[in-house]
Amino acid sequence: METSRHDIAPGPQQSGERIELMLQKQLKARLDQFKDEVAQRPFFWVAIAFLAGLVSCTFPVRLLVFALLRLLSLLLGPAILLLGMLKISELFSESKGQPANAAPL
């Protein structure tokens, strides 16, 4: 009785297809769950949609993205400074016998 290579171990394409099928099943299950929630509380979801539309009309996406980028740029400076201080403290805390670029054994 002969066994082929495909019977012994799944190839990369077969495992990829299995993962894709599993993801499709999960997506379908979550979509069905969301549909059930919308059917149970329709006014809640209408209110959420209304508020999302109101926010998107009141604050254009350009302004929201600009605000996020501004916040990110304000926080990035101190973060880089902190990382630099940590690196300098690492360099000074090493023993004097080892060179600065050598990894400990």
Domain ranges of the chain: 12-58, 60-93
Six-digit token pair at 37?
């929630």
Q: Is residue 40 scored above 70 in pLDDT?
A: yes
What are the pLDDT digits (tens) for 59-103?
A: 787 888 899 999 999 999 999 999 999 998 888 887 555 555 655
65: its two tokens: 């993205």
Q: What is the mean pLDDT of residues 13-32?
A: 89
Output 93 or 9, whichever has higher pLDDT. Answer: 93
